[in-house]
Structure formats: C-alpha cells, structure tokens
C-alpha cells in the first residue's frame, strides 16, 4: 500500500537529505554507518556512493530485495540484512546510526526499550544516533479531530479516516478496485508519542546528549514540536 500510493522519495530528494545529514552530524565520509529501517536502501546507497561503509537493516523482505538490486545497479557496496533493530548484536562498532522516518508506534514497550539500548550498545564511544520519527505525534493542546481523505489512481479509490483515541491513532482505509469489482478494508492502530516520552526512552538507553530539531535542515523546535533527534553516547 505504501509503495503503490505514496512511494519512496526520488534520488534528488535523497541526495539533499544526505547533504543535510552530513551537515547536521559533521560527517567526514570515513564513518561506519548503520541505516535502521533502510527501506529500499535509498540513504544507504547514496552514503555508500559517497565513501561511507554502510550496513542497512529492515524487516520488509520486499524492500530489501529492491535495495539489493539498486545497489548492484549503482555498484554501491552495502550490506543489507533482514533484521529487527532490537536484535542488533555489534558492540561499539558503528560511528553513526541513522533511523530515518522510524515508526515507533507499532512496537510494545519491551521492544522499544530494547532497540534503543541496542543502538547505544552498537555505537562507539561518542557515536551519534540520528532519529527522525514517523507516525502519529502527541502534541499537548493539539487538534484531535478525525480526518478523512480519498484518492483515485487508475480506477482505484482509497478512502481513509484517522482518529485519536487517547494516545492511539486508529486508521481505517477502504480500497475500491472498480476493474476487479473488489473492496478491501484495512484497519491499523498505532501509538502516538509525546516528545518527552521519546527523550526518556533515549536517556534510559544510555544516550547522554539529546538535541531536538524540527527537520533535517536543522530548524529549531518549540516545546510542543518534535521530529528529529540527534543523540550521542
């Protein structure tokens, strides 16, 4: 559904994002990098082509197959693995871990704690974690009204409704395929987080310095906003 209706950003956008990452983290292009939730490998491949040593992990086999094929086409040297972040085993190995558009809301408390602990464990002393979160956010005083939307693509329609119940976002999607005369319904529940909750998870995992930003361009945030975290061990 994501690939068909949303898709991954193109190479130009990816290159700009990597430019921003290099500036934010003051990278020297000698670092060993772990790309968590690498998806189709777009950041991992771009960074490998710039000279970094990169490992990419994800839990979606289809994404990893696409990533490996693109790496071979572009002659990029990246090690891709089917692996959960909570199962990282390297100790003090990586200079940098990036987790871009990382979705926290599908994990339970045990796995959330375990993955952040694994991040800290896998980083060398002084190593950096760049985390950008995806999914619903809890903003104190924010609007919690339901939202509805619909899109059409080649005779297929998708209707969606999102609403918050406490700290959980509930999303219902209905896909109507007129050619196949088929209707498919999807139901998803995803926990939303306050910024302070994410910061607490990071601190409990052992990260000492945590800077919050609004975006990869380095825009400062208000007390209510969050989205990008730069953390050091």
The tens-digit pLDDT sequence of the chain (233 residues) is: 666 667 788 999 999 999 999 999 999 999 999 999 999 999 999 999 999 999 999 999 999 999 999 999 999 999 999 999 999 999 999 999 999 999 999 999 999 999 999 999 999 999 999 999 988 887 665 556 789 998 888 888 999 999 988 889 999 999 999 988 999 999 999 999 988 899 999 999 999 999 999 889 888 877 666 789 999 98
Looking at residue 154, its pLDDT comes to 81
Looking at residue 145, its pLDDT comes to 79
Looking at residue 128, its pLDDT comes to 98
Looking at residue 219, its pLDDT comes to 86
Looking at residue 1, its pLDDT comes to 62
CATH number of 2-137+193-232: 3.40.50.150
Kindly report the backbone phi and psi dihedral angles of residue 228, in degrees, each rounded to the nearest multiple of 5, phi listed first: -125, 130
| Residue 22 near residue 95, CB atoms below 8 Å | no
Looking at residue 4, its pLDDT comes to 67
Looking at residue 224, its pLDDT comes to 62
- Work out the angle at residue 94's Cα, subtended by the Cα atoms of residues 17 and 125, and round it to the nearest 5 degrees: 115
Looking at residue 138, its pLDDT comes to 75
Structure tokens given for 121: 């464990």
> Which regions of the chain carry the CATH code 3.40.50.150?
2-137+193-232
Looking at residue 8, its pLDDT comes to 85
Question: Is 147-191 a CATH 2.20.25 domain?
Answer: yes
> Which regions of the chain carry the CATH code 2.20.25?
147-191
d(Cα 132, Cα 122) in Å, to the nearest integer?
Answer: 18
Most distant CA pair in the chain, distance: 58
| Residue 98 near residue 36, CB atoms below 8 Å | yes
Structure tokens given for 174: 């209905």
């Amino acid at each position: 559904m994501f690939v068909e209706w949303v898709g991954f950003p193109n190479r130009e956008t990816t290159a700009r994002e990597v430019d921003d990452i290099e500036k934010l983290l003051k990278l020297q292009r000698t670092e060993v990098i772990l790309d968590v939730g690498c998806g189709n490998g777009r950041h991992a491949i771009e960074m490998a082509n710039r000279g970094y040593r990169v490992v990419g992990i994800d839990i979606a086999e289809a994404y990893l197959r696409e990533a490996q094929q693109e790496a071979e086409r572009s002659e990029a040297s990246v090690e891709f693995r089917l692996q959960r972040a909570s199962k990282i085993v390297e100790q003090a190995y990586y200079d940098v871990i990036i987790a871009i558009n990382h979705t926290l809301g599908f994990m339970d408390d045990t796995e959330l704690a375990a993955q952040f602990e694994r991040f800290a464990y896998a980083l060398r002393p002084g190593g950096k974690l760049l985390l950008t979160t995806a999914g619903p956010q809890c903003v104190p005083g924010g609007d919690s009204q339901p939202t509805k939307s619909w899109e059409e693509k080649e005779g297929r329609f998708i209707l969606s409704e999102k609403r918050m119940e406490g700290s959980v976002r509930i999303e219902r999607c209905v896909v109507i395929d007129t050619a196949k005369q088929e209707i498919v319904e999807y139901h998803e529940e995803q926990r939303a987080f306050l910024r302070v909750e994410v910061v607490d998870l990071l601190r409990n995992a052992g990260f000492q310095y945590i800077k919050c930003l609004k975006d990869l361009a380095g825009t400062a945030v208000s007390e209510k906003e969050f989205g990008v975290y730069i953390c050091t061990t």
